[in-house]
Amino acid sequence: MRASVTAMQQPAAASAEAGADAGAAQVAVLEVVLRTLAVREQSLDFHVRLAQEVAERFGGASGSSSSSSGRTDMAVMQAAGEHLQQAMGSAPGAGGAGHDTCSSLSAGAPASCAAYNSGKNELVHSRGNSSGGAGARTYVVWGSSCGWMVLFGAAVFGWRCRGVELLRCLHEVARGCLAEAERQGLAPGRVCLRCGDLLSDDVRGAGLVLLADQCWDHALAAAAAAKLAQELPTGALVVSYSGSSSGGGGALAAQRQAGSGAVGTDDRKGGEQEQQQQQQQQDGRGTARAEAVGSEPAFEEVAVVRVPVSWNPDQALHVWRRR
């Protein structure tokens, strides 16, 4: 009997060891990519191209594109705790990969998108947080810049990952990083990179959305929060650089749900709508609408973690959960 148990334990131990080796190899991929990216971000050509595109689009100056380190990203994931496990796990009827297909406006992207859509990304997560596969949810980064945070999720956790970046010069750098990561051994088909407007991105299959919202204006933060409230499945998580009093976090906190849907504040219309609503309440004509807007919040803050980032040694990151 003891021999039988030992015989059963040996394959399990070998499998666990192989899994650990595979996980270590994927993390080693990140080290190579990070070194390559660090050199690229310090080059004059990179900053010239970035400044030119920002000036063309917005008429302003650009800042640093670096966002966080591996320790920072891991600290946020750990702070999310059991909420992360629930958010990224298989959840029948709550969205899932059926809504998650890869497409991009960039030339040369169809090959990587085809791999992402082909089913090769039906994976088991390397850190054991939840099962991969067609029913698992996707990790999405809105404002994915050079792709570091997207690649982190793919290499360390084995997640299906999607990054959306408006600036083409940053998107092209991210594509180069993805190509290098796959040459170094990152499993193909895990990552989709899109160049375009985040408000056109479908997040019904997302379990975790990271908002690189530290520089977003009020209108964009409000529009993004309203879209997340409408599309995210129950239990999905959103990470924001701001809390309930400002920025993306404030916009998330302002979202309300009524019945099965979400009703959000439409800040794109400015304060005129709010003033009209207040007048209606005073007149007694806006009671029903006030009750709907005053219903349960669509999001709850479940964790706050302070981490070092390139522009702040003590940056607070806020984790919100779709109710």
User: CA separation (Å) from 261 to 125, 181, 293?
Assistant: 31, 40, 12
Amino acid letter for position 71: R
* pLDDT attached to residue 247: 73
Three-state DSSP class for 100?
A: coil
Question: Among 30, 292, 321, which Cα is nearest to 185's?
Answer: 30
* pLDDT attached to residue 3: 52
**Residue ranges of the chain with per-residue pLDDT less than 70:** 1-23, 60-77, 79-81, 89-135, 258-294
* pLDDT attached to residue 8: 42
* pLDDT attached to residue 277: 42
Question: Among 191, 237, 193, which Cα is nearest to 89's?
Answer: 237
Task: Return d(Cα 270, Cα 277) in angstroms, integer.
Answer: 12
- 217's tokens: 């204006």
User: CA separation (Å) from 105 to 54, 99, 140?
Assistant: 19, 18, 18
* pLDDT attached to residue 102: 67
* pLDDT attached to residue 61: 55
CA 69, chain centre distance (Å): 15
* pLDDT attached to residue 83: 75
* pLDDT attached to residue 72: 59
Amino acid letter for position 320: W
* pLDDT attached to residue 202: 97
Task: Return d(Cα 224, Cα 161) in angstroms, integer.
Answer: 19
* pLDDT attached to residue 282: 42
* pLDDT attached to residue 172: 95
* pLDDT attached to residue 76: 62
